[in-house]
Structure 1
């Protein structure tokens, strides 16, 4: 009887570890890359061009630089607590009650962002592919797949991202190469006509999507096998994703021009429609749609996983899967009311950086400073 009890205990312990996941550094790199590209590859160029005109590519380089600095901050914080998630060490740093409040604020941020991105997926699908299909049906079908991915756990989910990564790389290369014959460098001139002020302003304004959102990946950071490799993967994945966004923004300006780029909501999708090689290889906008759907799926899934995991850790639950279905239903409902239409989504984007700033910069910086002052970490308390 005693052996049976010990066996059951060990099984539960092992099963709990497997549920938490254990991913490689290469898988973490892919997840970070998909997180950066997801959503931003369609919406990003329009917002940058709106503020910086033909100098949007310079603003994109600046915002990538600021994003890499944020990743250095997240790496420093994550390496202090290599075996704990963001919500776990917030209680360790701030104390039980203040820490729980901070953790609940992060859960709210993650959860509302999940619903917001589901709404973006629904808006894109109904406006570009299925105008007669109710957006509720799109949200339900899309989020069922998200729930399936989160429920199977972090390890299988991360391995799936590696399978899709070569496909995304090939499709991005096809897009760039196919449009190379339509590039006109005169469209990027004059450079810095209005000076650096509008470029810096729009770069800071664009920091909220996606770079301040990278704080979410501190929920995955402790599950990477080696902390040192996790830090490198975080930086490398951010760099790859940022370069892709720079290329797409620059290509939009060089092929379409700043005025056309600014007018279109989904400019990258419009860009893909311009592909025409020998009047044979043309109208392959599905390439951009596939890139966006793959990367957006993984981004939303990471957000939902972090939401469920953070709440389960605040509530001290043994299994985060218990919360997947109720939170999934609430997410679908919330996605229908978070924004009524694309116009509201655009208005929301105007203050997204201000909304994300406390979560992406102030709280992590404060945590790092307090942990250093109090000399709190899991490597030596």
Structure 2
């Protein structure tokens, strides 16, 4: 099978698209209400620490894929076992993303259309894009990211008449607990998900530029999401933002004269497709590597079908999914995003510093 390659620019755009993904719909920082911007900054900073851990792991294993890193650190059997568990996590994440966007569409835009219809529709687009190749996702992201920035600037400017700077006050009125809780949740969703790009990194055609690409994309994605959080607080206020499951939709609806809500729908559809593509690609590639197969694309269709089924089973309602995203998902993701990467880094550093004669033994 011909090896697929993407440029550093395409990788950066994919990272921004992925990070902006479901966080444009459900942002855990809103649990801190008018202090959501502080919770977001805390989560953004915590995610930066996780990013440096990932970069250091890659530096210690410059020629290895994520599966290869797991095998190097945990051995052949346990490394592959942990890789398969990560494969489940990627598929579960894809199902959550599909359900998020399907819930949004059926709640806001087409309330009389069955949820399953949108789950299948999104997934068919994802399967088609992945069958063409990962370069397709890079090209989609190249179009999507400038579009989302333009829409963000436009909506922020159009909302200036509705902005109330007093919505940031009173600061810390609820204490530190909501900020810490929202910060941890934000660090997990979306910033802690960055490690999934270890599955995409081998496709980079200029491997030496990955650190710069990772850092710039992370900072740009954070700036976009921070602007969204601040805009929603300034326009809606803490109470309305906390009560509404999709606050960005309300902001778009409040823009006078013209209906710009379809622009948000376009943003979310493109972001959802990109994020789901990367999740299913990572799962397919991981399974292929674990079983020593050269063609990962044979897994795309069955994984896509399974993802649709799983997306219909994971939650009973929109409110339940929003609650799980803030309360349960961060706890569930800690082993995948924090504990195992830290263990990988520790083992990698120890092995790096072992005497050469001891390594041979």
Q: Give the Cα–Cα distance (whole angstroms) in 1 for the partners of residues 63 and 351 of structure 2.
A: 19
- Whichever of the two has the greater Rg, that structure is 1
Aligned match of 2:343? 366
Q: Does residue 102 of the first structure (1) align with residue 86 of the second (2)?
A: no
Could you list the per-position Cα deviations for residues 22-53 of structure 1 after superposition, in whole angstroms to 9, with x for gaps in the alignment?
Answer: 11111111111111111111211xx4233x22
> Which residue of 1 is the match for residue 29 of structure 2?
48
Q: Is the 8 A contact 2:26 2:322 kept in 1?
A: no
Q: Residue 26 of structure 2 aligns to a residue in which SS? A: helix
**Residue 134 and residue 190 in structure 1: after superposition, are their counterparts in 2 closer, same or farther (change >3 A)?**
same
Distance 1:262 1:347, change over 3 A: closer
Query: In structure 1, how many angstroms separate the alpha carbons of the residues matched to 2:26 and 2:319?
Result: 13
Shift of 1:99: 0.4
Sort the Cα spacing of 1:53 and 1:326 in 2 relative to 1 into closer, same or farther, 3 A: closer
Aligned to 1:89, which of 66, 69, 76? 69
Aligned ranges 1:156-195 → 2 under 5 Å = 156-195=136-175
CA contact (8 A) 1:272 1:285 kept: yes
Q: How has the CA–CA distance of structure 1 residues 67 and 244 changed in structure 2, closer, same or farther, with 3 Å as cutoff?
A: same
Tell me, which stretches of 5 or more residues in structure 1 are unaligned? 1-14
Q: Does the CA contact (< 8 Å) of 1:37 and 1:295 recur in 2?
A: yes
Any gaps of 5 or more consecutive residues in structure 2?
none
CA contact (8 A) 1:16 1:319 kept: no
In the alignment, which of 35, 43, 52 is matched to residue 18 of structure 2? 35
Does structure 2 retain, via aligned residues, the 8 Å contact 1:83–1:223?
Answer: no
Residue number in structure 2 paired with 1:345: 321
Q: Match for residue 275 of structure 2?
A: 299
Q: Distance in 1 between matches of 2:274 and 2:181?
A: 30
RMSD between superposed Cα atoms in Å = 1.8
Counterparts of 1:129 and 1:174, CA distance in 2: 21
- TM-score, length basis structure 2: 0.94
Task: Tell me which stretches of 4 or more aligned residues in structure 1 moved more than 6 Å.
Answer: none
2:2 aligned with 1:16: yes
Q: 3-state DSSP class of the match of 1:143? A: helix
Shift of 1:376: 9.0
Aligned length: 355
Structure 1 position 270 matched with structure 2 position 250: yes
> What CA deviation, in whole Å up to 9, does each residue of 1:66-123 have, x standing for no partner?
1111111111112222333212221122111010111011101101111111111111
